[in-house]
């Protein structure tokens, strides 16, 4: 029967629901009741919606035991030990299948299910016959019930011994051949005695009497047989006696379908309710055959069908699918029914291309809207429905020139050819850079808008000469004319280039010292210092993206893999995660493979069979059968993004380990990861084969560790390893590797120089990376998938599916583009995971820094803490409000009246609350700049955390054993906010210094570990083992110190935040307290500038030292003095700070900073001056109308040096 005559998958489901078909067995026996139902739906609907029988029958899928061993254990727990007992009792456990032998492919028999000793069957028919007779059974039914009593008997001896002597059940069970009843009447009476009244009942029960024949209509033919009614002694029906008469009656009533027949058959009392049974031996074929003359035939050709569709007013493919049933002669899929197919526009009689037919017509239409860029065109082209969304594609072969020509934009001339020397030097500079596209564009901007405008010579050093005046106004105007999002990038690219030229060709290098020649400077970083900071940049930085709550991340993981943390222990397979095939169902998620390559026994292989139309020679098409396997690449990529704080591109560049010496393998028996020698054909064929590259590697004590191939902030763009990886993530990465080896194998590792990237990458970097077996490759070419393919549509879709009422994680897109949109990007997940680990999980900073591959701990601190609503804004508000408080007044009040008098301005905690609720000894209050100790500074031994029933001592930290911010008795408040900030700055400096030591130890240890590994691989002795162990100890010691400092920093920060809350509370109650606090200028910067400006932090500490008695500038003074003296020497001034006392150094430093801030206006420019990027002469050149800053700096130095000389004249004379 033609395929078009069958109904669709959804129609079939509706039909069987109307027929009340509830099981697969019922379907097989009744599918002929409707002409459109196929005999084998799993095969017919493969690739057309078929999932399983439960879905097809609209039944809830039972939660049965997944494995045979689980079902065996459950049956044994119920005490079931035989087949009969199982059939009677299996429903006592809803997860047991009705027939485990059929349900579990590995179950060979009932004996196997009950784990009985399985013995081979009797080898000969005679032996089996003798054994069966010893059972004393006389019928096949009795044998079926008792054959298990003999372990060598089989349930199907008729099949086992079919070719070795089988003659039937009678000879098998008895020597006495039982003859059938001699006469028709005897058989009829025996049947009546058994109570058999129908043909189906007789077929099932006739063997209960061994003398009854299986086919009485044949056995007694010509010996009395008439019909079944007479045999069962039933009154013959009044139905039409022949099939043809019944058929004529049906046609006369105009009945055209089975459903209609079942409803209207009572209009003629001679029509039976079950014609298939009544006329089974009288010509019945099928329902289709009965209604064959009424079956509407499809239109014979494309033209007739096209005319019919147009009469219905159908204008699109989707409209056709909704309306084609209005005409029964229209097929559901005309594209595959009518060959050759010429397209929907021709079929529906609509204009094939609603766009303008010619390039010139479209160009004139676009000119009317005045589009200034392609971005504006994309946003506004829909104003004219005939304008194409992608004109470069629509007119590719119809005169397309360029987008500038299409939009009639003026194309600026390019004079780059007139400056070959400048371009050549710039190309050399690019060898050490990234982001080629922006940098090359910046050069064109500079040449066309500055060099050509001023008719400058073709020499990059021309602008660096002090003798050549730099036209700052023209340059600023040129940068401001660029697009908002490009201003900063263009300026930075130009400035970086000339700084490189200055370093390479205009700098004298002597050992470790490098001095810029006096005749040269970089005007972009000297004269225009600070210019970049003022450039607007409309695109938000990545760290300003919204942070996704950890609750949603957990919900997303569980959507992809229910109980995801149990993935390894339960060995979850891809075939069990059926919802993933619906979620990831794009064309790229299904890979065409030959049927012979499909491993149907592999639980991680999900495959399907499809019929589709393919083009062949001369434009002809044909229907072909293809087999596809589902690719888990995008699933594992998205799961990794949710599970590990990596950048999206880092994930997609992970290595599978197919070229490593050793690989991880999942032990399916124990649910653990084992390590075995790699026997694959790619083993040790990578360019870096001496070092493992796999994402999942063997760590300490055999535990899996993680290796990331690339690192954006690491030295030389190398990867990094982490001695931890979630077991479930390791499991899925190994599953993906095995899948790739099976269905997307590589002939050789993929060279980095051959991969396709969104942006051009420095070729030197690519060459240094060698080759790699990309884990997330899209096919056998070895190319990794792109971040857009992996995450652009899947992440918003996932967030949309998991969100609940009132949540706005994602939304449907009603316009052109992706179906789902979300404000949360892949980078948001990285930020969210880092924040959750540190802020919510209290994970140590140095561990998270290692986890995410940050090159410095300060970077991780910045990553988490620099949130506007968490730190900067509250601190700015605190600075404005705290100016109305005075610490001295509060101290005097506390000493005179106790803590209760200032309770509203102090912070109460569980440990110090008792001092506010009850009167305490006033003299016990010891005052510090950062708070009060109400225990006479003598209870440090019990001020720590509660351990069982005893309070421990305060944990020592930056302040030593008397570490007040970590003490439970410690009291602080609004008046002490400045002191808290000062203390935080000092701790931040210690963190900055210690993090440098930690990084140095880490680098040394990495080098030693690599050397140890190389020696181990080559089986050579390693003579630096003592150095390696010492480096490990030093790194751990530094990490421990950092941990203490970071905890101190966190404790101080919490008091700062509590102070802000206390200020809000006091202000809301209109407090009349006249408190005033003197704090250091620019409080909002606090210590968070440490990663960007060490000098700024040192300056803050020195300034605090003039305000707070307990401030400790001892660490900052030597560092800032050295910086100032170096700056003086670089600018031809005599260093002087080394001659001063500590007190004079603090005073001189504060005075110098006030001068520099008044003249340079920003810490950025001060930093440039201190580091040498900006010279004092450049400041004087830029501020020609003011007193030279050189003179003012000399005056400061001279003043303090003269004081020192006066006090120590004799010493100086010596």
The reported pLDDT for the residue numbered 971 is 87
The reported pLDDT for the residue numbered 48 is 80
Q: Are residues 623 and 747 in the same domain?
A: yes
Q: How far apart are CA 1005 and CA 1009, in angstroms?
A: 6
Burial class (CB in 10 A: 0-12, 13-18, 19+), 912: buried
Does residue 77 lie in a domain region? Answer: no
- Record the tokens describing residue 686, joined without a space: 């990578």
Q: Are residues 395 and 532 in the same domain?
A: no
The reported pLDDT for the residue numbered 862 is 40
**Closest of 23, 15, 29 to residue 53, by C-alpha:** 23
Does residue 683 lie in a domain region? Answer: yes
Contact 135, 146 (CB under 8 A): yes
Q: Are residues 611 and 726 in the same domain?
A: yes
Q: Are residues 832 and 958 in the same domain?
A: no
- H/E segment holding residue 1065: helix 1025-1068
Sign for the pseudo-dihedral over CA of 104, 110, 113, 117: negative
Residues ≥6 apart with Cβ < 8 Å to 1100 = 985, 1080, 1082, 1085, 1086, 1087
Q: How far apart are CA 1012 and CA 1001, in angstroms?
A: 16
Detail the DSSP E strand segments found in 749-848. 750-751, 771-772, 811-812, 820-821
Percent of the chain as helix, strand, coil, to the nearest 5:
50, 5, 40
Looking up tokens 């096949």 gives 140
Looking up tokens 């032996």 gives 127
In sequence order, what are the beta bridge partners of 677? 662
Q: Of 484, 510, 539, which closes a domain? A: 539
Tally the domains of the chain.
9
DSSP tag of 539: S
3-state SS class at 906: strand
Q: Mind giving me the DSSP string for 1138-1157?
A: GGS-HHHHHHHHHHHHHHHH
Rounded to 5 degrees, what are φ and ψ at 131?
Answer: -65, -40
Distance of CA 744 to the CA centre of its chain: 22
DSSP tag of 450: I
Q: Are residues 593 and 658 in the same domain?
A: yes
Alpha-carbon separation of residue 782 from 630, 732, 740, 748, 1014 (angstroms): 18, 19, 10, 9, 28
Q: How far apart are CA 7 and CA 1194, in angstroms?
A: 96
Q: Are residues 401 and 486 in the same domain?
A: no
**Closest of 425, 440, 435 to residue 761, by C-alpha:** 435
Contact 991, 1090 (CB under 8 A): yes
Q: Are residues 558 and 673 in the same domain?
A: yes
Q: How far apart are CA 977 and CA 1066, in angstroms?
A: 15
Q: Of 33, 56, 79, which closes a domain? A: 56
Query: Would you tell me how many other CB atoms lie within 10 Å of the CB of residue 346?
Result: 12
Q: How far apart are CA 10 and CA 28, in angstroms?
A: 18
Distance of CA 911 to the CA centre of its chain: 44
Contact 343, 352 (CB under 8 A): yes
Q: Are residues 1199 and 1179 in the same domain?
A: yes
Does residue 849 lie in a domain region? Answer: no
Does residue 414 lie in a domain region? Answer: no
Looking up tokens 């509660």 gives 946
Divide the 1214 residues of the chain into consecutive groups of 10 and give the mean pLDDT of each group: 66 82 78 79 80 80 81 80 78 82 78 68 86 80 75 79 80 71 88 82 76 83 82 76 86 76 80 81 77 65 86 80 78 75 79 72 87 83 80 82 81 81 87 78 88 88 87 87 82 88 81 76 80 60 60 88 87 90 89 87 88 60 81 95 87 90 87 89 76 89 87 60 89 94 90 76 73 87 88 91 84 72 82 67 60 52 40 39 49 69 72 72 76 83 83 86 87 80 83 85 86 80 85 86 87 81 59 36 36 71 75 82 84 79 82 76 79 75 60 76 53 38
Query: Would you tell me how many other CB atoms lie within 10 Å of the CB of residue 1177?
Result: 17
Q: Are residues 1198 and 1177 in the same domain?
A: yes
Q: Of 519, 539, 559, which closes a domain? A: 539
What pTM did the predictor assign? 0.44
Contact 972, 906 (CB under 8 A): yes
Contact 803, 778 (CB under 8 A): no
Sign for the pseudo-dihedral over CA of 310, 313, 315, 321: negative
Q: Are residues 938 and 1038 in the same domain?
A: yes
Contact 707, 646 (CB under 8 A): no
3-state SS class at 931: strand
Does residue 75 lie in a domain region? Answer: no
- Record the tokens describing residue 567, joined without a space: 């993935």
Q: Mind giving me the DSSP string for 54-92?
A: HHHTT-PPP---SSHHHHHHHHHHHT--SHHHHHHHGGG
Largest CA distance in the chain: 150
DSSP tag of 674: E
Q: How far apart are CA 763 and CA 496, in angstroms?
A: 19
Does residue 859 lie in a domain region? Answer: no
Looking up tokens 């003011």 gives 1186
**Closest of 365, 372, 353, 360 to residue 400, by C-alpha:** 360
Looking up tokens 């931890």 gives 724
- Record the tokens describing residue 367, joined without a space: 């000119």
Q: How far apart are CA 955 and CA 1036, in angstroms?
A: 18
The reported pLDDT for the residue numbered 831 is 73
Q: Are residues 386 and 529 in the same domain?
A: no
**Closest of 328, 339, 260, 343 to residue 298, by C-alpha:** 328
Does residue 68 lie in a domain region? Answer: no
Q: How far apart are CA 728 and CA 1024, in angstroms?
A: 37
Does residue 80 lie in a domain region? Answer: no
Kindly compute the dihedral angle of the four CA atoms of residues 4, 5, 10, 13, in this order, to the nearest 10 degrees.
-150
Rounded to 5 degrees, what are φ and ψ at 912?
Answer: -110, 0
- Record the tokens describing residue 40, joined without a space: 């084998």
Domain that holds residue 773: 550-838
Kindly compute the dihedral angle of the four CA atoms of residues 205, 209, 214, 220, in this order, to the nearest 10 degrees.
-130
Alpha-carbon separation of residue 615 from 269, 590, 619, 1036, 1181 (angstroms): 56, 20, 6, 66, 73
Q: Are residues 555 and 689 in the same domain?
A: yes
């Amino acid at each position: 029967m033609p395929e078009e005559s069958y109904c669709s998958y959804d129609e079939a489901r509706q039909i069987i629901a109307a027929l009340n078909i509830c099981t697969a067995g019922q379907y097989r026996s009744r599918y002929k009741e409707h002409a459109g139902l196929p005999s084998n739906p799993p095969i017919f609907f493969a690739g057309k919606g078929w999932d399983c029988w439960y879905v097809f029958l609209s039944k809830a899928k039972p939660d049965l035991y997944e494995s045979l061993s689980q079902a065996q254990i459950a049956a044994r727990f119920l005490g079931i030990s035989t087949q009969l007992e199982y059939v009677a009792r299996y429903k006592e456990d809803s997860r047991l299948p009705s027939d485990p032998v059929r349900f579990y492919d590995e179950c060979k028999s009932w004996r196997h299910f009950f784990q009985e000793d399985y013995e081979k069957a009797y080898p000969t028919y005679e032996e089996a016959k003798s054994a069966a007779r010893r059972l004393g059974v006389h019928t096949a039914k009795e044998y079926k019930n008792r054959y298990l009593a003999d372990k060598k008997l089989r349930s199907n001896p008729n099949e086992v011994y079919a070719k070795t002597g089988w003659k039937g059940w009678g000879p098998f069970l008895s020597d006495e051949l039982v003859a059938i009843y001699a006469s028709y009447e005897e058989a009829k009476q025996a049947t009546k005695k058994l109570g058999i009244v129908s043909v189906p009942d007789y077929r099932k029960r006739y063997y209960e009497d061994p003398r009854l024949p299986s086919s009485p209509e044949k056995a007694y033919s010509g010996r009395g047989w008439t019909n079944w009614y007479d045999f069962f002694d039933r009154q013959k029906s009044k139905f039409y006696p022949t099939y043809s008469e019944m058929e004529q009656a049906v046609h006369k009533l105009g009945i055209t379908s089975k459903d209609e027949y079942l409803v209207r058959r009572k209009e003629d009392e001679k029509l039976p309710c079950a014609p298939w049974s009544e006329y089974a031996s009288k010509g019945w074929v099928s329902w289709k055959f009965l209604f064959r003359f009424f079956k509407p035939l499809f239109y014979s050709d494309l033209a007739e069908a096209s005319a019919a569709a147009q009469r219905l007013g159908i204008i699109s493919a989707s409209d056709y699918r909704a309306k084609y049933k209005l005409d029964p002669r229209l097929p559901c899929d005309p594209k595959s029914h009518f060959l050759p197919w010429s397209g929907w526009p021709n079929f529906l009689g609509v204009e094939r291309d609603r766009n303008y037919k010619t390039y010139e017509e479209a160009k004139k239409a676009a000119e009317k809207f005045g589009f200034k860029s392609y971005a504006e065109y994309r946003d506004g082209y829909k104003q004219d429905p005939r304008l194409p969304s992608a004109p470069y594609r629509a007119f590719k072969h119809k005169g397309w020139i360029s987008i500038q020509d299409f939009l009639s934009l003026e194309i600026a001339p390019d004079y780059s050819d007139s400056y070959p020397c400048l371009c050549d030097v710039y190309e050399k500079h690019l060898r050490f850079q990234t982001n080629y596209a922006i940098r090359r564009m910046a050069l064109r901007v500079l040449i066309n808008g500055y060099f050509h405008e001023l008719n400058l010579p073709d020499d990059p050093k021309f602008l660096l000469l002090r003798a050549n005046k730099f036209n700052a106004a023209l340059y600023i105007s040129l940068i401001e004319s660029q697009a908002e999002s490009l201003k900063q990038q263009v300026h930075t690219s130009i400035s970086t280039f000339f700084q490189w030229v200055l370093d390479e060709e205009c700098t004298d290098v002597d050992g470790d010292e490098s001095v810029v020649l006096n005749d040269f400077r970089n005007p972009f970083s000297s004269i225009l210092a600070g210019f970049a900071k003022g450039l607007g940049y409309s695109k938000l930085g990545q760290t300003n993206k919204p942070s996704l709550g950890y609750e949603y991340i957990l919900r997303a993981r569980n959507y992809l893999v229910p109980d995801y943390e149990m993935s390894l222990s339960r060995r979850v397979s891809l075939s069990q995660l059926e919802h993933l095939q619906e979620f990831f169902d794009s064309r790229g998620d299904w890979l065409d493979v030959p049927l012979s390559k499909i491993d149907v026994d592999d639980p991680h292989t999900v495959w399907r069979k499809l019929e589709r139309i393919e083009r062949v020679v001369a434009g002809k098409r044909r229907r072909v059968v293809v087999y596809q396997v589902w690719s888990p690449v995008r699933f594992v990529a998205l799961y990794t993004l949710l599970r590990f704080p990596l950048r999206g591109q880092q994930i997609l560049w992970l290595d599978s380990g197919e070229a490593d010496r050793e690989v991880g393998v999942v032990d399916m028996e124990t649910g653990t990861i084992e390590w075995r020698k790699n026997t694959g054909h790619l083993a040790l064929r990578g360019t870096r084969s001496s070092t493992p590259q796999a994402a999942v590697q063997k760590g300490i004590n055999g535990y899996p560790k993680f290796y990331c191939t690339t690192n954006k902030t690491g030295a030389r763009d190398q990867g990094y390893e982490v001695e931890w990886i979630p077991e479930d993530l390791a499991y899925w990465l190994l599953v993906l590797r095995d899948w790739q080896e099976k269905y997307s194998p590589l002939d050789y590792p993929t060279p980095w120089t051959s991969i396709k990237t969104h942006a051009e990458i420095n070729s030197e970097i690519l060459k240094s990376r060698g080759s790699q077996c990309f884990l997330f490759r899209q096919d056998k070419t070895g190319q990794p998938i792109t971040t857009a393919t992996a995450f652009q549509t899947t992440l918003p879709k996932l967030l949309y599916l998991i969100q609940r009422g009132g949540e706005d994680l994602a939304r449907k897109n009603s316009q052109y583009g992706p179906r789902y949109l979300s404000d949360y990007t892949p980078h948001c997940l990285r930020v969210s995971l880092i924040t959750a680990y540190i802020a919510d999980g209290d994970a140590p900073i140095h561990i998270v820094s290692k986890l995410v591959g940050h090159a410095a701990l300060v970077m991780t601190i910045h990553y988490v803490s620099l949130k506007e609503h968490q730190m900067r804004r509250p601190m700015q508000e605190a600075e404005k409000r705290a100016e109305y408080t005075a610490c001295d007044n509060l101290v005097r009040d506390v000493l005179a009246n106790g803590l209760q008098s200032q309770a509203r301005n102090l912070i109460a905690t569980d440990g110090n609350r008792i001092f506010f609720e009850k009167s305490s000894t006033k003299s016990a209050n010891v005052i510090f700049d950062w708070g009060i100790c109400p225990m006479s500074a003598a209870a440090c031994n019990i001020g720590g955390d509660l351990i069982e029933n005893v309070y421990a001592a305060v944990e020592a930290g930056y302040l030593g054993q008397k570490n007040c911010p970590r003490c439970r008795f410690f009291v602080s408040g609004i008046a002490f906010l400045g002191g808290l900030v000062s203390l935080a700055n000092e701790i931040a400096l210690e963190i900055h210094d210690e993090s440098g030591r930690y990084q140095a130890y880490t680098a040394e240890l990495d080098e030693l570990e690599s050397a140890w590994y190389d020696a181990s691989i080559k089986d050579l002795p390693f003579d630096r083992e003592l150095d390696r162990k010492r480096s490990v100890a030093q790194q751990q010691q530094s990490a421990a110190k950092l941990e203490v400092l970071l905890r101190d920093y966190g404790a101080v920060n919490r008091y700062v935040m509590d102070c802000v809350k206390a200020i809000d509370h006091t202000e809301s109650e209109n407090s009349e307290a006249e408190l005033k606090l003197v704090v250091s200028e620019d409080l909002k910067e606090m210590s968070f500038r440490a990663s960007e400006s060490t000098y700024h932090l040192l300056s803050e500490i020195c300034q605090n030292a003039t305000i707070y008695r307990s401030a400790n500038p001892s660490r900052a003074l030597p560092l800032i003095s050295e910086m100032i003296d170096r700056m003086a020497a670089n600018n031809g001034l005599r260093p002087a700070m080394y001659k001063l006392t500590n007190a004079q150094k603090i005073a001189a430093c504060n005075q110098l900073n006030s001068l520099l801030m008044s003249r340079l206006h920003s810490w950025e420019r001060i930093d440039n001056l201190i580091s040498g990027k900006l010279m004092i002469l450049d400041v004087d050149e830029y501020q020609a109308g003011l007193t030279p800053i050189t003179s003012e700096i000399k005056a400061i130095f001279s003043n303090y040096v003269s004081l020192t000389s006066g006090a120590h004249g004799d010493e100086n004379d010596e």
